[in-house]
């Protein structure tokens, strides 16, 4: 799997989100980011690769995504920006669960 333009351009945002400790600040930042189509497309790409099992996940990663399985599946299939935004914004923690996995994938792809 290669870097897509969306994933590459959002690498810094994923890293920034992973360093923020306060939940209120992280939630506000995520709310703003989820209105960006490129960020949503990057999350969709990660969800798609997880659902298609193009990347193997650790047991702890699988456990953290298990409550979001249905939303993850819906996000992986969302083709239009409007559908992606709707799934992500109603995901309740789905973007937060995907961020550490996104960083792992980005680090794997970079090496």
Q: Tell me the per-residue pLDDT of 40-95, one tens digit each, with 9 for 90 and over.
A: 898 898 889 889 988 888 898 888 888 888 888 999 999 899 998 888 888 677 77
51 burial (CB, 10 Å; 0-12 / 13-18 / 19+) is middle
- SS3 label, residue 42: helix
Structure tokens at 57: 């996940």
Question: What's the pTM value of the predicted model, to 2 decimals?
Answer: 0.82
Q: What is the pLDDT of residues 23-43, one digit of tens each?
A: 888 888 888 888 888 888 988
Closest to 41 (Cα-Cα) out of 1, 2, 105, 87: 87
């Amino acid at each position: 799997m290669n870097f897509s333009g969306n994933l590459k351009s959002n690498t810094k945002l994923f890293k920034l989100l992973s360093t923020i400790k306060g939940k209120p600040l992280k939630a506000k930042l995520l709310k703003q980011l989820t209105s960006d189509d490129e960020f949503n497309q990057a999350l969709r790409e990660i969800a798609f690769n997880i659902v298609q099992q193009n990347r193997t996940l650790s047991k702890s990663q699988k456990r953290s995504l298990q409550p979001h399985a249905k939303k993850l599946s819906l996000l992986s299939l969302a083709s239009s920006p409007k559908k992606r935004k709707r799934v992500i914004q109603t995901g309740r923690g789905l973007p937060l669960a995907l961020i550490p996995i996104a960083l792992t994938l980005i680090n794997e792809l970079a090496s």
